[in-house]
Amino acid sequence: MGHGRYIEPPKGQYQVQSGEKLELQYVILPGESRDLEISIDLAGPGAEAHIKVLYLCKADEKVRIRVLMHHRAPGCHSTQLINGIAGGRADVRFDGTIVVAPDAQQTEAFQENHNIVLTEEAKVVTKPQLEIYADDVKCSHGATVGRLNADELFYMRSRGIPEAEARTLQMLSFLSPVIPEGREEEIESALRGL
Amino acid sequence: MSEDKQIIQQFTSGEYKEGFVTDVEQEFIPKGLNEDIVRMISARKEEPQWLLEFRLDALRKWQAMPQPEWAHLDMPEIDYQDIIYFAAPKKDKDRPKEIDPKLAETFDKLGIPLKERDVLAGVVAVDAVFDSVSVTTTFRKTLAEKGIIFCSFSEAVKEHPDLVRKYLATVVPSGDNYFAALNSAVFSDGSFCYIPKGVRCPMELSSYFRINAKGTGQFERTLIVADEDSYVSYMEGCTAPMRDERQLHAAVVEIVVEKGADVKYSTVQNWYPGDADGKGGILNLVTKRGICKGDGSHLSWTQVETGSAITWKYPSTILKGDYSSSEFYSVAVTNNHQQADTGTKMIHLGRGTKSRIVSKGISAGVSQNSYRGLVRMAKGAQNARNYSQCDSLLIGSRCGAHTFPDIQSRNPTATVEHEATTSKISEDQLFYCNQRGMGPEEAVGLIVNGYAREVLSRLPMEFAVEAQKLLQVSLEGSVG
């Protein structure tokens, strides 16, 4: 039978205690199929966790990103930002769950997943989920799947920027919130190869 | 403002006022479910052979299926052999001219006008279903002049077999899911509605479902067909007596929207939710699906879900025609021990199809309220567009609010956006209301109505007032 009540998820890979802050950042570059699983327990009051994931696919990569953010203690704060671009025949799937345990009051948990699909053959599935068993919480998630904005492209081209360059700029700005410091050039060259 | 106040005052007693039982003579068939029972139902309704075969086929499919368990629900064990699948108020062999005064009284108490002269200047035509049979359908003649068919499902089978046969189970196949298969095997009655080409239905059509008998389940089936360039607005309401036992309601609704047609389907679901300790209540396990078959067709779902112990319901649209569009507006309220797992599916197949989802969940007490939705952009859905917004409001620290969206895109030109938030009524909002002399319950009522306004404003006028009151009653006792 399905369960409507709170069932405690298994212990996560990361235990974040009171006063601690965890920051995780992943970059998945073209050519790499990856099954990324992240599970975090915010176990002590006031703990913090922040996740950023960037993915780029251009051939037949298979990317799975699974995140379980478990707010066990009150007053914890978490953010997740997963942005990526799927080209070629890529198969991308994001499963993200935020669980707020009963009594984990004053929780703030945010999750965002944005995807751009470049080709007919690429496939993106996103399942951002919220399971909330406490009431004094601020939780939100957002997910989008779309393409590069044609108006922006037109704007840049009308100002003399070649199409390929304009597209790269667009993708770069889309990814910029998840690009780790110091790796901008590496990402930019990967984008040119898309 | 003053209207809101009146509503609140009027309903501060807060009991489930539809919880009475009507004492009419009824005939039942024996408990249990097997081929003989299905044959018995079919024979009692004097059905043609093809329909009996359809039922038997569905029964075999159902017997081979497991009950689904994926929903976020604590589902009690249902003993399908302990249910009476058919109960009808006794009546003479020939359809009586007048409906049983006791039944009329029942629907009167519920505020459902069955006598045509009572109806507000002819704005609503009603098909009333009592347990397993339709007791009356109003305004049939007026509608017939325009070529509109609006009658009980059983009558449609007799009078318009070709239409029924053409469309039955084309949107929800008999083996679609466990509860749809169960319904296909034992469905009793329901409404049938056909709007011919180019006709704009002049009044709201409405079905009203009432479970009365003890130990029975209700399995109605609704089929709406809107032919090219037609328009209809359809409403559905339901209530049941207060009983300690869990009663099963497994309905199927199918809607076919042809080219350029427009259908608006509204539900106010107020089945008995069980008492404050979670005893009794209706298990509402419903399959509703529409297909925007032709180009430029439009289907809009609006639902206000306040009743039932358990709700399992996902009104969905298949957007097949190019440039067809669909909307889903929902308010789901759970209080005490109620559980709801509800949402929608938008399957985009055609070019330039658009859908919009607005879901507002409100949980109080120790209830669990989930939104579950699917948005699928198929390969051919060029430039398709979806926007979803799912908000949850929590009242009290022991309830749960959950969001399970599933977004699948296989087309690079399609755009999907999903947004969800969860929050509680802020102290500031409450303080503001209290400071102006409103009690906590009144204040919550006001805030909740504001929160749900976007959906409530989509309801036909006749339903909007009822829905507002319902929200109020459903949340009583949840604060303080």
pLDDT in tens, B339-382: 999 999 999 999 999 999 999 999 988 899 999 999 999 999 99
For chain A, residues with pLDDT lower than 50 are 1-2
H or E element, residue B134:
strand B133-137
The whole-angstrom distance between B353's CA and the closest CA on chain A is 15
List CB contacts (< 8 A) between A174 and chain B: none
The whole-angstrom distance between B340's CA and the closest CA on chain A is 9
Q: Which of B36-40, B222-226, B421-425 has the lowest mean pLDDT?
A: B421-425
pLDDT digits (tens, 9 = 90+) for A2-27: 456 788 888 889 999 999 999 999 99
Q: Which pLDDT belongs to residue B467? A: 77
What would you report as the CA-atom Rg of chain A, rounded to the nearest whole angstrom?
Answer: 18
Asked if residues B348 and B379 have their Cβ atoms less than 8 Å apart, the reply is: no
Q: Which pLDDT belongs to residue A11? A: 87
Separation CA B431–CA A191 (nearest Å): 52
The whole-angstrom distance between B348's CA and the closest CA on chain A is 14
Whether A149 has its CB under 8 Å from any CB of chain B: the answer is: no
Q: Which pLDDT belongs to residue B132? A: 64
Q: Which pLDDT belongs to residue A99? A: 94
pLDDT digits (tens, 9 = 90+) for B145-176: 899 998 889 889 999 999 999 999 999 999 99
Write the DSSP string, B246-264: EEEE--EEEEEE-TT-EEE
Q: Which pLDDT belongs to residue B473? A: 73
List CB contacts (< 8 A) between A115 and chain B: 409
Query: Is residue A102 exposed (0-12), middle (13-18) or buried (19+ Cβ within 10 Å)?
Result: middle
Of the two residues B423 and A173, the one the predictor is more confident about is A173
pLDDT digits (tens, 9 = 90+) for B10-28: 433 356 767 777 766 677 7
Separation CA B58–CA B75 (nearest Å): 23
Q: Which pLDDT belongs to residue A7? A: 82
* Residue B42, CA distances (Å) to B175, B217, B286 in order: 19, 16, 22
Separation CA B422–CA B114 (nearest Å): 42
Of the two residues B395 and A145, the one the predictor is more confident about is A145
Separation CA A193–CA B326 (nearest Å): 39
pLDDT digits (tens, 9 = 90+) for B86-139: 887 665 443 344 556 666 666 666 555 555 444 443 446 677 777 666 666 777
User: Model pTM greater than 0.95?
Assistant: no
Q: Which pLDDT belongs to residue B295? A: 96
Q: Which pLDDT belongs to residue B402? A: 92
Q: Which pLDDT belongs to residue A63? A: 96
Pairing of strands B133-137, B124-130: antiparallel
For residues B175-180, give the mean pLDDT. Answer: 93
* Residue B29, CA distances (Å) to A115, B40, B86, B95, B130 in order: 56, 8, 6, 20, 16
Please give the ipTM for the structure prediction. Answer: 0.83
Asked if residues B188 and B47 have their Cβ atoms less than 8 Å apart, the reply is: no
pLDDT bracket for residue B206 (50, 70, 90): confident
> Rounded to the nearest 5°, which phi and psi values hold at A177?
-65, -20
Q: Which pLDDT belongs to residue B107? A: 61
Write the DSSP string, B410-434: --TT-EEEEEEEEEE--HHHHHHHH
Q: Which pLDDT belongs to residue B10? A: 43
Q: Which pLDDT belongs to residue B92? A: 43
Across chain B, mean pLDDT equals 84
Whether B429 has its CB under 8 Å from any CB of chain A: the answer is: no
Is pLDDT above 50 for B8? no
Least CA distance to A124: which residue of chain B? B409
* Residue B396, CA distances (Å) to A4, B174, B270, B329, B425 in order: 17, 41, 22, 25, 10
CA B72 to centroid of chain Cα atoms:
20
